[in-house]
Structure 1
C-alpha cells in the first residue's frame, strides 16, 4: 500500500505560517439525480461542457468521476478533486454544477479535507499527492475517534498504530489516501482506498476490524464504493440515456 491506514493519525506538530508549500486540499462530492428531473436537450454538447469546465480550471486536479449508481441509495456519482488551495476547488464544483448534466442534480454528501506534509513523514502522503495514478475502484469513508484515543499516552497509541499498519501492509496493490478534516466538516479524517480488484478493498476493511485500534472507533459512515469512469459515461450513469 502507498499509505497504511495506521498512518492516518500522526503526531501533530504545529508550525508557523498560514500555508505550507506541500499543503493539498481535496473535496469529495456525491450527487444524485432525482426521479423525473429533466434531461439536457443536447447530450453531446452537455458532455462537452464538462470537459470545458475541467480545462478552465488548470489549478484543480480531477482525480476522477466514480459511478456509484445502483450501489447506494441517493447516490449516482462521486466527484473527487484536489489542489493546492481550497477556493479554486469550490469554484470548480460551482462551475461543474451549472453545466447541463449537473444543474438538476442534488448534492447528497460533500466533505473537504487537507493534507499538510510538514505535519508528518512524507512517506505517509496520500497516493493522489505523490503521483500514483488512480485505480479503477474506490472506497471512501469518514471516521471519528473516541476522545480517549487522543488523550492516551503517545507510546501506547503508537503501539496500536503499528499493529494496524502491519495488518494493512499485507494488502499490496491498494492505494491509500488519508486527509484531515477537523473543523472542516463533522468528521476528523477522510479515507479513500483505490484498487484494481474491488475484493481487495473488502478484504482490507475486514482485516482492519481485528486490530486493537478498532476499540476507539466512534463513527465511520457513510461508505461510498464505485468505479472510476470517463466523462463520456456520465450521461448513461445519470440515466439521461439508456
Structure 2
C-alpha cells in the first residue's frame, strides 16, 4: 500500500563574502555539501534547483522527501556540518506531508521524480471562511479550479499539506518546461470562485532544475575541481 511522505523545501542564501574565498576552499565546501546530498539521495528523493537570477533573496533550493521525519532531520544536521553551510542562511523553509486529495482522484502520496526544467513553489493558506463552508460546497467550488488546471496538461502539480507542521497550510509546487504556460494558468486561476478564499500564496519561487553539482557551481561560477581533505 502506498505510504505518505514528508517533504521539505529548503532555500539557501550564500553570504557574498563566501565567493571571495580561495577557489580551492570553496570547492572543498561544495564537495562536503554534495557528499551529504549524495548520502541522503541513496534511498530517498532529493532534487536540487538553482534560484540564481530568479530571486534576490535565495540562491538554491533542495527538495527532500522521506517516509520518516527523522531522516529529513538527520539530513539537515549532516548538511549543516559542511563548510558551505557555515556561510549560508535558510531564509525560507517549508515542511509538509503528502496525502490524498479531497477534491480529485489524483495520487499525491509522493512528490514526482524530476522531469521538467522549472518548478514553481509557494506556501498557501486559505481564509477561515473556506473551512466554514459545507464539504460538498467546497468540493463543488474546487471542481472549477481543477478543470482550469487540466486545460494545461503539460503542467504537473505536487501539493503537500502542512496543517500543524508548519506555518502554511499547503505547499504548492507546479512543474513545467514552459514558464509562460504557468503564468497563463495562474492568471486564469485568479478568476475562479476558489480564488476568493485565498489568504496567502506568496512568496513565489521560480526554481531552475539542476543536479546538486550544477546548482552548487551556479553559486560562484566555479567547477568542483578538488577532493575534500583527509580531515573532512
Normalised by the length of structure 1, the TM-score is 0.81
1:148 match: 129
Q: CA deviation at 1:93?
A: 1.8
Does structure 1 residue 185 correspond to structure 2 residue 166?
Answer: yes
Rounded to whole Å, the distance in 2 between the matches of 1:25 and 1:121 is: 21
Q: CA deviation at 1:95?
A: 1.3
Alignment of 1:47-196 (within 5 A): 47-57=30-40, 58-62=42-46, 64-117=47-100, 123-126=105-108, 129=110, 132-196=113-177
Tell me the SS of whatever aligns to 1:222: coil
Unaligned stretches of 5+ in structure 2? 224-232
Cα 1:132/1:231, change in 2 over 3 Å: closer
Q: CA deviation at 1:31?
A: 0.7
Query: Quick check: 131-140 or 176-185, which moved more?
Result: 131-140
1:241 match: 222
Q: CA deviation at 1:150?
A: 0.8
RMSD after superposition: 2.4
Q: C-alpha offsets along residues 219-238 of structure 1, whole Å, 9 cap, x if unaligned?
A: 11111112011223234322
Q: Are the counterparts in 2 of residues 43 and 235 from structure 1 also a CA contact under 8 Å?
A: no
Unaligned stretches of 5+ in structure 1? 1-19
Rounded to whole Å, the distance in 1 between the matches of 2:38 and 2:103 is: 33
Higher helix share: 2
Rounded to whole Å, the distance in 2 between the matches of 1:41 and 1:185 is: 38
Query: Number of residue pairs matched?
Result: 220
Q: Are the counterparts in 2 of residues 23 and 84 from structure 1 also a CA contact under 8 Å?
A: yes
Cα 1:218/1:59, change in 2 over 3 Å: same
Q: Are the counterparts in 1 of residues 45 and 113 from structure 2 also a CA contact under 8 Å?
A: no
Rounded to whole Å, the distance in 1 between the matches of 2:115 and 2:65 is: 13
1:10 match: none
Rounded to whole Å, the distance in 2 between the matches of 1:47 and 1:31 is: 13
Normalised by the length of structure 2, the TM-score is 0.85
Q: CA deviation at 1:108?
A: 0.4
Q: CA deviation at 1:48?
A: 3.4
